[in-house]
Structure 1
Amino acid sequence: MPATLWKKFSLALVLLTLVGCGGAQVKRVEDGKATELTDKWSPQDSQIVAEAMITDMLSFPWIEQADRKPAVTVQYVRNRSHEQIPVDSFVNSIKRELLRSGKVDFVVSGDERERVRDEKLDQEMNASMETAVDLGEETAANFALSGMITSFVDQLQGKRAVTYQVDLKLIDLESNREVWNGQKQIRKVSSKSAFSL
């Protein structure tokens, strides 16, 4: 292929590529700013619900009645809604708000606790005695948090209303008393074009 023809072909290819990419516009959005395009559960919903629930939880008398600084662990939060909600992200929002309050300690649970214990066992075998973390020195949780996310969908003539409901409860592990029960709803109304799949 002659050099001039090759140059014209290359230029045409570059122009086509630029025209093809020109339709996409991307905007960077500040952290915490709402960016909802559908009626699906969003990161903002996780944060709003976590803040409201923890504020309510910490206003109940259980926190003053505890004989030591409360140590809370999350047992489970189940998703029973109509969509795939990243429950781990919501649970992390709950943990962050609990820790930010400074009023309670937070104790890890489940797989995370087992990984920490494996690390301690590894240290016992491989780390120096001066730096190894002692086994059997964990802080025990005295309160357990659990709950559920559900949803209700109402649809009529091109409009849809979705209500997400989060129910959480806090149990005193020593007495099995339910010391707090909270509920928070998020409602979203959308037109047909914004319906999530």
Structure 2
Amino acid sequence: MKRVPILATLVVLAAVATMVALGVWQLGRAKEKEAAIAEVVRNVKASRIDVAPGLDLQANLFRPARARCERRSPTRLTGAGKYGFRIIADCSAGLNQPLAVQLGTVRQPKEGQAFEGGVVNGYLAQAPDNRSLLRQLFDHRPAGMMIVADPPLAGLAANPPADLDSIPNNHKSYAVQWFAFAAIALVIYALALRRRWA
């Protein structure tokens, strides 16, 4: 009689069950992301909103917005890919913490100039996240928010428009990968048993 190794079989079945559970979890995450993307699409088409205390900035991602920046602020540079560099200042807007404002872009870095404040029209976006990938694994806080000026501050190049393609939804492909890993593990184990019994 051909015997099946109990311990090895339990280990393989536990691994397969874990992979299947991860695949199912990714399918659930895909539905959540689809709902979030649908909300963002609605935000892009929504009317302009004023940034004020109590406003849920994350829920209004990519929505046209207006901020009243009450104080002068120094500016700083961050990378903007093919656009060169972003010029970013801080805007109090009556909030507990300053809201970053992307005033415009420049091709080459130059000495920062102070932002004098005033009304900024644009859209709400996620601010550049300076946390390392390793830190983001353990720090699950969402990235900060900012308002991307449109039109840009005088003398600066235009900011990129709201880009819905920048919101990835690859959870279904991750689910397929986990299910494939589970199937491969079962096939390998079946081949190993066949070889053992030969």
**TM bin (shorter chain):** under 0.3
Which structure features the higher share of strand residues? Answer: 1
Q: TM-score with structure 1 length normalisation?
A: 0.23
